[in-house]
Amino acid sequence: MHKKKSEMVFAFSYILPSLVLIMIFSFIPIAMDVMYSFTKYNVIQKPQFVGFDNFIRMVHDPYVWASLRNTIVFTLFTVPVQTALSLFIAAILAGKCQNQFGNVVRSAMFVPVIASAVLVGTLWSMLLAPTGPVNYILDLIGIGAVNWLGGKTTSLLSVSMATIWKNVGYFLVIFYAGIMDIPRQLYEAAEVDGATKLQKFSYVTVPCLSRITYLVMTLGTIWSFQVFDMVYTMTGGGPGLSTQTLVLTIYNAAFKAYNMGYASTVALLMFVFVIAFQILQKRLFGKEND
Amino acid sequence: MQRKSSPFLPVILLMALAIIALGAIFPFVYMALISLTQKTMLNFKFDISEFSLINYSRVFKNFNLLVNFRNSAVVTVSACILNCLVSSMAAYAFAKKKFPYRDTLFFAYLATLMIPGQVTLIPVFVIMKSMGLMNTYPALILPIINAFGVFLIRQFMANVPNDLLEAARIDGCGENRIFFTMVIPLIKAVLVSLTIFTFITAWNDFLWPLVIASKPNMKTLTLAIAALKGNYGTNYGLVMAGSTLTFLPPFLLYMFLQKQFIEGIALNGIKG
């Protein structure tokens, strides 16, 4: 009996430091977020209860609508492209290049992954500058310069391209590991049946990777919902509202306008979105992937 | 019948792969090259005789980048050590000890991983500010630690045999000693992964330092780069010198520990 009690005390003392941190940085903040969303609060004065004012304001806020639209468009473009690209490259590497060359390609493509989003944003805003190297090449091959970051139709696409450039190496590594785990016999059996390379890819590789593809797309979507650093450095949300995103709206409301209450309301909206997405995904795809 | 694919196809594929790999690396090379020049036009003509380190001396002298470097280093190293210690202790208790509501609590830990940091940004800022911790290292470091480390290490605890722990207990070994002298060495591999993961997270962190470090002497490197870019955007050499310096530590580490980097950053999160 005594031994059990001392084991409990020991376990609790080992969990305590992490529990305190998780309480302060995760559980309590969610509750505070809900509370603040019903207040007007500028950090200096005490929060004032304002009922549903923030929610009503949010529904009429063009920044919020632009953020939602941009975040969705950004996700719908970024996630499929980066998933498909990383899957294709991984399949080619696994099929053709399980050698030194393949290793070099994978290592090279992982370099952008370790760079910060701020650095990638800074780098790409230079590469995409009106007189930058990308336009220089486009000019050379006769397409002509494009106002990437300054144009309302291309700005979001530019941020998305930089994001894809940064992420492909990450997902490529995951796909590659997944392909390596596919039993060789499946490919041999397909070969016996006379399958072409393309058939092997679509009938063996892709179905065997369904769990990983699901994870890659989920992760990619959640990352896309959270895009901030890249937009902050590349466009600042502009031109106009063309690259305004949810996190940028939260940041500006909280730390430019010092309206913590309203910012919390928008944060709550984002929270609901992210959680709803994850629950929905688990419902739709979870069972077959468990 | 034996199928023969066109001999050109592999060559084209290999070339495409080489171009893609170059596309991933070239922007960094360009960054380093620009940092050595005073260019106002961004093209591909580089005159080696005009290369100089003047941008580097300027970012240190006029912009005090060394202070930002120090802050990033302090935050990153402390976050790595603290995260490994705190997470492995909790993971050990979750995996090897019995206590009431253990599974419920662990489930709650997992649930916190679904919460994006941006959602808790404002309350955490208010908490830190009310504790008087704005512009301090603890405020920059502590929020980096989350449930991921506990989750990651707990899976790995299966590699620690219960018999071994029991044998040590029979020999009269204290619980703390068992943890620090037996468990920690057995989970070294996963601690390396977590360290690398935490290193990249902390070194590249932007939004949190942006709101919590307002004093120049507490700003981290990512903030310094964003400020350089914002204020001296067209002075490409200067901005790229700062960027190159920021990228150097993670890049050098990556060169030496490629396999561990790929495992620590990409593969561990997925295995669960």
Q: How confident is the model over B51-81, as pLDDT tens digits? A: 888 889 888 888 889 999 999 999 999 999 9
The minimum CA-CA distance between B204 and chain A, rounded to whole Å, is 5
Instruction: Using CA coordinates, name the residue in chain A closest to B98.
Output: A8
Q: Residue A122 and residue B254: Cβ atoms within 8 Å?
A: no
Contact B243 A122 (CB under 8 A): yes
Write out the DSSP string of B131-177: TT-TTSHHHHHGGG--HHHHHHHHHHGGGS-HHHHHHHHHTT--HHH
Binary contact (A92, B13; C-beta < 8 A): yes
> Which residues of chain A neighbour B239 with C-beta distances below 8 Å?
122, 126
In this model, does residue A260 exceed pLDDT 80? Answer: yes
Contacts for B104 with CB less than 8 Å, ≥ 6 apart: none
Token duo for residue A208: 């065997």
Residue keyed to tokens 């305590």: A16
pLDDT of residue A75: 93
Which of A116, A192, A199 would you mutate first to test chain B, the one with the most B CBs within 10 A? A116
Residue B76 CA to residue B141 CA, distance in Å, equals: 8
The pLDDT of residue B234 is above 80: no
> pLDDT band at residue A208, thresholds of 50, 70 and 90?
confident
Query: What 8-state DSSP symbol labels residue B217?
Result: G
Residues of A in contact with B240 (CB under 8 A): 126
CA distances to B27, B194, B254 from B249, in Å: 17, 17, 9
Q: A39 near B114, Cβ under 8 Å?
A: no
- Chain A partners within 8 Å of B3 (Cβ): 194, 196
pLDDT value for B268: 67
**H or E stretch at A39:** strand A39-40
| CA distance linking residue B193 with residue B199, whole number of Å | 10
CA distance, residue A273 to nearest chain B CA (Å)? 11
Q: Which residues pair with A40 in a beta bridge?
A: A48
Contacts of A122 in chain B (CB under 8 A): 225-226, 229, 239, 243
User: Are residues A15 and B236, on separate chains, in Cβ contact within 8 Å?
Assistant: no
The whole-number pLDDT of residue A151 equals: 84
What is the amino acid identity at position B261?
F
Contacts of B34 in chain A (CB under 8 A): 126
- Are B194 and B221 in contact, with CB atoms under 8 Å apart? no
For A247, other C-beta atoms within 10 Å of its C-beta total: 25
Under 8 Å CB-to-CB from A47, ≥6 apart: which residues? A35, A36, A39, A40, A41, A260, A261
What are phi and psi for residue B34, nearest 5 degrees? -60, -35
Grouping H, G, I as helix, E, B as strand and the rest as coil, residue A48 is strand
- Site of tokens 């307002």: B214
Q: Given this model, what pLDDT does residue B8 score?
A: 61
Q: Which residues of A101-115 are buried (b: 16+ CB within 10 A; e: fewer)?
A: ebeebbbbbbbbbbb
Confirm or reject contact between B3 and chain A (CB < 8 A). Answer: yes
Q: How many residues does chain A have?
A: 290
Could you tell me if A34 lies within 8 Å of chain B, comparing CB atoms? no
Does the distance separating the beta carbons of B125 and A108 come in below 8 Å? no
Cβ proximity of A74 and A155 under 8 Å: no
Confidence of residue B1 (pLDDT cuts 50, 70, 90): very low
Q: What is the reported pLDDT for A171?
A: 94
The verdict on A19 touching B (C-beta cutoff 8 Å) is yes
Q: Which pLDDT value is given to residue A286?
A: 60
> What Å distances lie between residue A77 and A113, A275, B3, B184, B241, CA to CA?
19, 21, 37, 44, 32
Nearest Cα residue in chain B from A115: B247
Tens digit of each residue's pLDDT (9 = 90 or more) over A102-116? 889 999 999 999 999
For residue range B148-193, list pLDDT tens digits in order: 999 999 988 888 888 888 888 888 888 888 889 889 999 998 999 9
Ordered structural domains, chain A, with CATH:
53-289 (1.10.3720.10)
Give yes or no for A29 touching B (CB within 8 A).
yes
Main-chain phi, psi angles of B169, to 5 degrees = -65, -40
For residue A52, pLDDT beyond 50:
yes
Check residue A100 and give its pLDDT: 83
Reported ipTM: 0.90
Long-range contacts from B10-16, C-beta under 8 angstroms, 24+ separation: B10/A96, B13/A92, B13/A96, B14/A96, B14/A97, B14/A101
Residue B122: which of A119, A133, A260 has the nearest Cβ?
A: A260
Indicate the Cα dihedral angle B39, B40, B43, B48, nearest 10°: -10
Does B119 contact A at CB distance below 8 Å? Answer: yes
Dihedral of CA A98/A101/A107/A111: which sign? negative
Task: List, as ranges, residues 166-195 from B with C-beta within 8 Å of A.
Answer: 175, 179
- Give B19's contacts (C-beta < 8 A, 6+ positions apart): none
How far away is chain B from the Cα of A153, in angstroms, using its nearest Cα?
Answer: 22
Chain B residues close to A254, C-beta within 8 Å: 121-122, 125, 211
> Which candidate in A6, A12, A18 is best for mutational testing of the B interface (most B CBs within 10 A)?
A18
B57 touches chain A (CB under 8 A): no
A residues 83-142 near B, CB within 8 Å? Answer: 89, 92-93, 96-97, 101, 104-119, 122-127, 129, 131-133, 136
Please check whether the domain covering B8-271 is classified as CATH 3.40.50.11310. Answer: no
**CB proximity B197 to A under 8 Å:** no
Buried residues in B233-271 as b, exposed as e (16+ CB within 10 A): eebbbbbbbbbbbbbebbeebbeeeeebbbbbbbebbbe
Give me chain A's average pLDDT, please: 88
Confidence of residue A204 (pLDDT cuts 50, 70, 90): confident
pLDDT for the residue A2: 58
Q: Which tokens in the block code for residue B192?
A: 């390396």
DSSP-assigned states of every residue in B83-114: HHHHHHHHHHHHHH---TTHHHHHHHHHHHTT
Mean pLDDT of A189-198: 86
Query: Given CB atoms, is B129 within the 8 Å cutoff of chain A?
Result: yes
Chain A segment 182-241 residues within 8 A of B by beta carbon are 194, 196-197, 212, 215, 219, 222, 225-226, 228-229, 232-233
Q: Identify the residue whose tokens are 């959602």.
A: B119
**And the tokens for B22?**
């170059």
Q: Verify whether the Cβ–Cβ distance B225 to A122 is below 8 Å.
A: yes
Using alpha carbons, select from A19, A62, A58, A113 the residue that is nearest to residue A273: A58
Cβ B109 vs Cβ B152: under 8 Å? no
Q: What does the domain layout of chain B look like in residue ranges?
A: 8-271
8 Å CB contact of B20 and A268:
no
Residues in A closer than 8 angstroms to B206, CB to CB, are 116-118, 228-229, 232
Question: Distance between CA A68 and CA A51 in Å, rounded?
Answer: 24
pLDDT digits (tens, 9 = 90+) for B221-231: 999 999 988 88
Note the pTM of the prediction, 2 decimals: 0.90
Question: What is the pLDDT confidence band of residue B4, given thresholds at 50, 70 and 90?
Answer: very low
